[in-house]
Amino acid sequence: MPKMTRNTARKIFERLSEASPEPQTELYFKNPFTLVVAVALSAQATDVGVNKATKTLFEIADTPQKMAALGEKKLGDYIKTIGLWRGKAKNVIALSQKIIDDFGGEVPQTREDLETLPGVGRKTANVVMNVAFGQPTIAVDTHIFRVGNRTGLAPGKNPLEVELGLEKIIPDEFMQHAHHWLILHGRYICKARKPECWRCPIVDLCGFKEKVTSPDKPKPAAKKTAPKKKTAPKKKLAGKPKLRATKRKAAS
Ligand code: SF4
């Protein structure tokens, strides 16, 4: 795939921004702390599933102090519907306590500090920095990783490579919302199994070769295999008759 130019990248973000001028995270949160919790709970879970659980949880525990007071067991009762809930409950209580002990009860704003919180990695830190504190970070999740590679915007073997590639190619004025545009694009159009290229606003700019141009496009017919060549019949061993003749001679 040829390297994408910054000019093409600019056109891509112009179009994505036209389609959704003020993109928002689809996770429910009330403040920076509840955002940290929501993102930590969303690993390998859907935003819809997390929102169902956090809607009631955040009514009673929307600060680190209230969450720590709730305790691991009671928190578990609220988030049991979310995958890996036991480990997540442990992390949420521990990160609440750390925010109280080390950061005066306020969610830290730098990646370095955020990554010291239990259960918070680079991706979660980037989401919090971007959504809660307005910093132009790119949090590479499964959708952004796929879109970055497929389109040729920022090919990379791992999330960090894609993140750094996107930071290089995305024009500054689009950086703030870029990760939301890419997530929404990946979630609703450039889907994992079957990208909906026939309704994609950047189809002419995308470098993906195997575009799906129609919703009901039949699968390409299986290639006909060439008929097997007939193998030539084995030649009879020239030596056998002679052998028999020799035997007959010997017998006579
Ligand atoms: S054209 Fe297809 S592969 Fe390219 S970004 Fe759009 S949906 Fe994804």
Q: Output the pLDDT for position 239.
A: 42
Q: Output the pLDDT for position 248.
A: 42
What distance in angstroms lies between residue 200's CA and the mean position of ligand 1's atoms?
Answer: 6
Positions of the chain with pLDDT lower than 50, given as ranges: 234-252
Question: Would you list the DSSP string of 91-156?
Answer: HHHHHHHHHHHHHTTS---SHHHHTTSTT--HHHHHHHHHHTT--------HHHHHHHHHHSSS--
Q: CA 171, CA 13: separation in Å to the nearest integer?
A: 9
Share of the chain above pLDDT 90, in %: 80
Q: Set out the domains of the chain in order of their start, with CATH numbers.
A: 32-131 (1.10.340.30)
Ligand 1 contact via 200 beta carbon (within 6 Å): yes
Catalytic residue check, 141: yes
What distance in angstroms lies between residue 152's CA and the mean position of ligand 1's atoms?
Answer: 10
Q: Which residues contact 2 (CB under 8 A, 6 or more apart)?
A: 152, 207
Q: Output the pLDDT for position 246.
A: 39
pLDDT digits (tens, 9 = 90+) for 81-140: 999 999 999 999 999 999 999 999 999 999 999 999 999 999 999 999 999 999 999 999
What distance in angstroms lies between residue 165's CA and the mean position of ligand 1's atoms?
Answer: 18
Active-site position among 47, 77, 80, 141: 141
Q: Which residues contact 200 (CB under 8 A, 6 or more apart)?
A: 189, 190, 206
Residue whose C-alpha is closest to residue 43's, from 139, 114, 112: 139
Does the pTM exceed 0.85? no
Ligand 1 contact via 130 beta carbon (within 6 Å): no
Q: Output the pLDDT for position 132.
A: 97
